[in-house]
Chains A and B, each alone.
Chain A
């Protein structure tokens, strides 16, 4: 199967934020206790992504020569091809994994140790560690829905089809076409974001105005120099976790797979604990909602 991508067209988006709510609903993420957030018109809330907010509408107000523009950007994981988060993940096998069919990136919640390396490495500030669960949390690309023939929750709910999801080649082509149309329709600075970054993102944007408006980096460098120390520190943490679980350091140094196999019994016990905690949390959420 061909790779997939998310697609977001800022010229169609009305910032209704139904994607934000649908994401929480599908993924059983609790609401955040927020306060009025006065940045740029006060509409952006929560203020940033978090362990329980995986997609977020960003608002940008600007005024040029008396004409106001109010621009929106759906912020979530870009599911990069050159994914720094995967590179630095110290767990073996990797807890940060690429879906073998769709090409999207998600965290294997069973394997993740919540070391935070992905948080530090991500150029877009996407993953966040839930320190209570000791797990990194972020957009999963709704691989659980997609694998069952459904659209991701955000794309399904979007009323204007500003968010789409599908074949990467097709949507990359659509983005190019759409930019051409927008430039003809009076948006001379319309541009595509994603195909040229990190070997091609699996979440691309059609943006009606210049990139700078959206506080997005045009160039995202793949810097081993920056990632190396993050990775090394994470590996030390992983080693410490394994020690805590009674597994030798050898599992890190000497070939991950056998090491992980050795650790599997211990991990299974940990998983049970996690499942119990998850169930308790789900109960709390249910109570909160009722």
Chain B
């Protein structure tokens, strides 16, 4: 989230798209309904009418996978009608920047595409700004130059008319206008709008571009950085934000540092490659210029005194990514199915239910030598070798089950969607022999180290690892948290102050690249200081601006800044766009007349107009022109890999930069055999792959069985009534579920053609007390071009009444 949960209450207009927040983030509705009670408009965009829709002022349906056609329509509406916040886009975004003359777009393809590789060469395609002789991007402050970003944007979305949008999405034109009028009215300084989104946005072959399209719309309206604004990703688990911050994903190290590639052969080469150069000189803060300090401090946290200047701070110990290898969930299971992975640890993961193309992933598990599953319950993944229809004798995988402590049975922190790191205490002992994840990892490491000390290939990264979390059986979680924050490895001086060896580092501004400091995650530097554990704070006093920042409640990254990009909430003189809901403001009388910021922790303490607002960007400006993505600088409408229709906007049918797997069990379906759009989702009554809820009677009674939701029209066509058993088939497999025939689903009219859509929740599996068929038997192994997140949300199926 750019903002945070509490801040939703400040909004004048809330658009929930790609999310069923009322069901999957019910607590968010505490804040949504507060805003609504104060008169905010609630808009919900969804293929089906949900419990979220039931509370919306405007509900507008849209076929799964057509967000960009819809948001592109809104962008066009904003640009053509000049509803954008002009001062904001001129000063804080790249709207006025001139783009390289080679950049072009034609019929669904950007310049630089190589069809034989299914890849773009962005350099050849001119995906960059045009630079002046000083090496800075050229600008046209009138934003009239046909090659400036705003004008290219206008050109790109010119064809996204309400009528075309409707033809693609199935959203009635009048509904579009209702939404456009309500949402785009917030381009004025005194109004704010927020977008809440989740997996309905991301789980597409162009999921990254879906998110970008929301960000662009919000930038145009000046809604980023302000109270009640932002784009707010609702994370699917209480600590997904924390685990992402701490490098759950393969492409990043803690704090979003890049994972080294094989070609980054030394620390020097790595830092050269990944430390961006500032454009526009001093006026651009270019915060990632500090990458060397963060990287070296991370290496010091990993290898302590064994990381020295002479050995490149043990950079060689880090594993490197091979270029071209895909290490994501799909990539991992493809490799497993090809017998290239021997062992798997599943911590709180249940891929037998949650992974796409579940039949294939279950088969792949059977090719492992060993599987260690760590969970609160007996999961479908642990039971994969005795799943229905399989002879256990045919599976050689050895399965180890490690019972884990639940969140209330251990101490530690979680980081919520709003980036708040909140400390939790242990309430009760775990049952039986269940242990905390920390205990499990600690004991595993100690055993591995013992083994590697006896000699092995390249044992140094393990035997030299800095590992000191106390002498008790249960590792000291405070020592882990303190190391994540970082402390001084020796006495050192900075800004006229001496920090003694062993002292906690006050904030990441004090980290160094010479080995004086360690920090397990620079973003969390400031969370556990000499003043104590900031995450454990429980003082609910609000800040001076009274907008619900609660700066002394827990702690928030970075440096307790509750709304990021908040330098964009004021004009270039430091005056808030909106005095009633100001986030920060410049006060001349502070600091003995030198002036200072008040309110939230600002995005850097510099005086107004001395630095550009978007401090993480090399140019200091937010990018409407997103040249860093692999599939193009402007979000563009493509159809899902499996789609019932031809792309009505371009002859390019799908995202041209996605990977298509040619291996076994990767069949794709076509509309002649599978004419119905299917999507998957969750219900409030169950949690993810179900292991935490399908084992509880109190929630299982609420939602006991797997079901499918379909329109009355489709029910009539197929002779299916409420409560019937229905078979749903895709090219990957088929499942059976109870029918819910409901007016909450409606067929879409696409250019006169009637297209049906159905939906299935994905919680069920064969283990637990509430069992049922798994929706992911139906889903394909295809993923987003940038992230490889699976396309769970739009694929093709057929349904029939089971006889």
Contact = CB atoms under 8 A, between A and B. Distances in A.
A162 B34 CA distance: 11
Contacts of B163: none
B701 A34 contact: yes
Contact of B744 (A11, A33, A46, A70): A70
A185 B701 CA distance: 36
A223 B57 CA distance: 42
Interface string B46-58: 0001011111010
B698 A42 contact: no
A11 B36 CA distance: 10
20 contacts: A12-B55, A14-B52, A14-B54, A16-B29, A16-B51, A17-B685, A18-B26, A21-B698, A30-B697, A31-B698, A36-B704, A36-B705, A36-B707, A38-B722, A41-B744, A46-B701, A159-B27, A160-B33, A185-B39, A289-B696
A159 B722 contact: no
Contacts of A14: 22-23, 26, 29, 51-52, 54-55
A14 B29 CA distance: 8
A162 B744 CA distance: 23
Interface stretch (B223-231, B392-400, B419-427, B735-743): B735-743
Interface residues of A, number: 42
Given A14-B55, A17-B685, A32 B30 contact: no
A33 B701 contact: yes
A24 interface: yes
- The prevalent SS among residues of A at the interface is loop
Contacts of B33: 12, 160-162
B319 to A, nearest CB: 41
B684 interface: yes
A70 B22 CA distance: 13
A63 B698 CA distance: 31
A290 interface: yes
B802 to A, nearest CB: 14
Interface of A: 11-12, 14-18, 20-21, 24-25, 30-36, 38-39, 41-43, 45-46, 61, 63, 68-72, 159-162, 181, 185-186, 288-290
Given A68-B743, A70-B54, A36 B738 contact: yes
Contacts of A33: 701
B23 A35 contact: no
A45 B701 contact: yes
Contacts of B54: 14-15, 69-72
A290 B702 contact: no
A11 B27 CA distance: 16
Nearest to B699: A21
Contacts of A20: 702
A63 B711 CA distance: 13
Contacts of A43: 703
B431 interface: yes
B136 interface: no
Interface string B724-765: 000000000000001110111000000000000000000000
B20 to A, nearest CB: 10
B697 A288 contact: yes
B684 A25 contact: no
B29 A45 contact: no
Contacts of B53: 68, 70
A195 B723 CA distance: 38
A25 B698 contact: yes
B700 interface: yes
Interface in B137-195: none
B742 A41 contact: yes
A20 B702 CA distance: 9
B79 to A, nearest CB: 31
Given A15-B51, A34-B702, A36-B723, 13 more contacts: A14-B54, A16-B22, A16-B51, A21-B702, A25-B698, A32-B701, A35-B704, A41-B742, A69-B54, A70-B744, A161-B30, A161-B33, A289-B696
Interface in B1-53: 22-23, 26-27, 29-30, 33, 37, 39, 49, 51-53
Contacts of A68: 49, 53, 59, 743-744
Nearest to A67: B59
Nearest to B21: A14
A16 B742 contact: no
A63 B705 contact: no
Interface residues of B, number: 39
Contact of B705 (A35, A162, A181): A35
A61 B744 contact: yes
Contact of B740 (A24, A38, A161): A38
Contact of A160 (B30, B697, B707): B30
Contacts of A46: 701
A31 B30 contact: no
A133 B685 CA distance: 30
A72 B50 CA distance: 12
B55 A42 contact: no
Nearest to A24: B698
B684 A17 contact: yes
A224 B441 CA distance: 70
Nearest to B683: A43
B160 to A, nearest CB: 25
Contacts of A70: 49, 51, 53-54, 744
Given A14-B26, A72-B54, A290-B431, A31 B697 contact: yes
Contacts of B740: 38, 41-42
Nearest to B28: A159
A183 to B, nearest CB: 14
Which one of A20, A24, A46, A159 has the greatest number of beta carbons of chain B within 10 Å?
A159
A268 to B, nearest CB: 33
Contacts of B739: 38
A68 B61 CA distance: 11
Interface string B404-435: 00000000000000000000000000010000
Nearest to A42: B740
A31 B51 contact: no
Contacts of A45: 701-704
Nearest to B744: A68
Nearest to B55: A14
Nearest to B59: A68
B57 A38 contact: no
B338 to A, nearest CB: 39
Interface in B482-520: none
Interface string B676-703: 0000000011000000000011111111
Contacts of A42: 707, 722-723, 738, 740
Nearest to A23: B698
B481 to A, nearest CB: 29
Nearest to B27: A159
Contacts of A30: 697
A120 to B, nearest CB: 26
B26 A16 contact: yes
A46 B740 CA distance: 16
Contacts of A11: 55
Contacts of B431: 290
Contacts of A290: 431
A157 to B, nearest CB: 10
A45 B702 CA distance: 5
A43 to B, nearest CB: 8
Contacts of A25: 698
Nearest to A69: B54
Contacts of B29: 14, 16, 159-160
Contacts of A31: 696-701
Contacts of B57: 186
A43 B740 CA distance: 9
B493 to A, nearest CB: 50
A181 B53 CA distance: 20
A72 B23 CA distance: 14
A63 B59 CA distance: 14
A16 B684 CA distance: 6
Contact of B697 (A69, A162, A185, A289): A289
Q: Which 7 residue pairs of A and B lie closest in terms of their CB atoms, listed nearest first?
A: A31-B697, A38-B723, A14-B22, A36-B705, A38-B722, A70-B54, A16-B26
